[in-house]
Chains A and B, each alone.
Chain A
Amino acid sequence: MKDNIRLVKALVKLRFERVMMFRLGFFGPFFVDGSLFVIQLLVFQAIYSKVDRIGNWGQGDMILFIGTFSLINALNMSIYFFGVNSIPEKIRTGEIDLYLTKPVSPLLRLTFEQVNPGALPLVIFSIAIILYGINAAGADVTISSVSGYAVSVGMMTVLFYELEVIIRSLAFFTVSSDGVLQIEMSGLDLCMQIPGTVFYGAYKFVFYYVLPYGIIATYPSLILLGRFSWKMAAHEGIVLACFTMVTVVMWKTGLRRYDSVSS
């Protein structure tokens, strides 16, 4: 454990040194994702100028939802996205060999080797959206609801990570994972625009159990809005546990199957 923490610290330090060399691209993730969520706020501002509620979501509730998705996405971009995203390419080119020969966990190194401090302002920006959303929704915020929210955001950030690893680990088993990545992107686009409670039927099954993007920002938001139930808490915990197992099995099976450049 101590060695792993030292490794993560060293990877973060190296990464900082590298990104500082390319100052123009340093804040790239912040501007790209920041503009995405600002546009989403504008879209819902326009919709709410014509309607009072979307289902049982008022404008403040929706702002809180967007802010929460933005926060989880910001954590994703800052910590692990760029590292995890490089997995298919590294499998295809055989670069994973370099990770397997080092005396550290390959997944741990891949996860933290490309942290991106340029996305950190997005965390602050997201917190500002969340505070605005709480105010607009008139949510009754207590210490317990904020603690619950923080725990839920943490759990959903881990779930987001696991989904990314699972999808990219498919490259161990297929010639190209482009199609699955495209489906991931489309699913994410959809779920970052609509709260999960709007889903029904097959959509609910897919986005709650198969690719659970539908709960990623919805459950934490519902905690602050005071509409979170024990059933949802159980669902959140079970989904996270199941996907943790799938991630471990998938990654280990993939590594066993991996036979260098020809994978």
Chain B
Amino acid sequence: MKKYLEVAKVYLKVKLMWRADLIFGFISIVMKIIFASLLWGVIFRDKETVAGFMQNSMMAYYLLSAFFTQIDISEKISGDITLGIRNGTFTKYMAVPMDTDKYFLAMEAGSILPHIVLDVAAIFLIGLVFGIKIDITSDVAIILCALLIAFLGLLFMAQLSYFLGILTFRFEEISTFLMIKQNIMALITGSIIPLALLPEMVVKCMQILPFYYTAYLPSMLLIGRNGEEAVGGMFVMLGWNLGIWLLSRNVYSRYRVKYDGAGI
């Protein structure tokens, strides 16, 4: 455990050195809020509520979901692994006396901390500038459930990125696929629009998938909605985390032998 803690510390320091990444994250949240305020500002001129949202709750949703989306920086894991395998530098992860999956999880944990701190400050600042009142639910149990689901969501996304990264052993070129994945994720995690706007049947299907729980459900729980899904959500995410962990282990042990350390 101590060695993984050291890895997390190293990446925390690296993140603090490359502060520009943190600023870009801030810009990204601001742009999402500008998008939401322009789009929904026009819509709410003619209507009072849309899919149960009033203008302020809609903006609060966007602010919270932008936060949860922004702190997920796991995409880098796939990129690093792909690049390492293609360039033949993945050997360094195999050579260290650590499990590669845990190494990347520790890397993610260390990198994510400054993002969480800065993005929390960012959402309060942006909320203040745009006049968005974030009415967080007063139910402590729901808040804890939301935070736990968000944590499990981050863990899942990191494991998914690791899994997709190691698929490079098998498929060699996955960058196109990763870009398509990013596009799809923007919709199915509810970061472009709240999933409540989609047809009920589609939402029911999405509840089976883990992406529903990464940004959408935690945001909805925090603004005091969908409380009945909190406990179920935790179990769904635990199941998905276990599933992807087993799958990654299996794929890694099966395909790592294809790697010859010379690159592609």
Interface string of B134-175 (1 = CB under 8 A from A): 000000000000000000000000000000000000000101
Q: Contact residue range for chain B?
A: 20 to 34
Q: Establish whether residues B183 and A35, one from each chain, have CB atoms under 8 Å apart when the complex forms.
A: yes
Q: A58 an interface residue at 8 Å Cβ cutoff?
A: no
B-contacting 9-mer, from A25-33, A105-113, A134-142 = A25-33
Q: A53 an interface residue at 8 Å Cβ cutoff?
A: yes
Q: Establish whether residues A51 and B46, one from each chain, have CB atoms under 8 Å apart when the complex forms.
A: yes
CB of A195 to closest CB in B, whole Å:
10
Q: A239 an interface residue at 8 Å Cβ cutoff?
A: no
Q: A1 an interface residue at 8 Å Cβ cutoff?
A: no
Task: Find chain A residues with CB under 8 A from B50 CB.
Answer: 50-51
Q: Known contacts being A32-B180, A51-B43, A186-B28, is A179 close to B20, with CB within 8 Å? A: yes
Q: Establish whether residues B39 and A193, one from each chain, have CB atoms under 8 Å apart when the complex forms.
A: yes
Interface string of A43-63 (1 = CB under 8 A from B): 100110111011100000000
CB-nearest residue of chain B relative to A179? B20
CB-nearest residue of chain B relative to A52? B46
Distance in angstroms between the alpha carbons of A179 and B21 in the assembled complex: 9
Task: Find chain B residues with CB under 8 A from A51 CB.
Answer: 43, 46-47, 50
Give A contacts to B, CB under 8 Å: 24-25, 28, 31-32, 35-36, 39, 42-43, 46-47, 49-51, 53-55, 176, 178-179, 182-183, 186-187, 189-190, 193-194, 198-199, 203
Between-chain CB contacts (< 8 Å), 16 pairs: A28-B175, A39-B184, A43-B192, A43-B193, A46-B199, A47-B197, A50-B51, A51-B43, A183-B27, A190-B31, A193-B35, A193-B192, A198-B38, A198-B39, A203-B34, A203-B38
Give B contacts to A, CB under 8 Å: 20, 23-24, 27-28, 31, 34-35, 38-39, 42-43, 46-47, 50-51, 173, 175-176, 179-180, 183-184, 186-187, 192-193, 197-199
**Closest 4 CB pairs between A and B?**
A28-B176, A186-B31, A32-B179, A46-B197
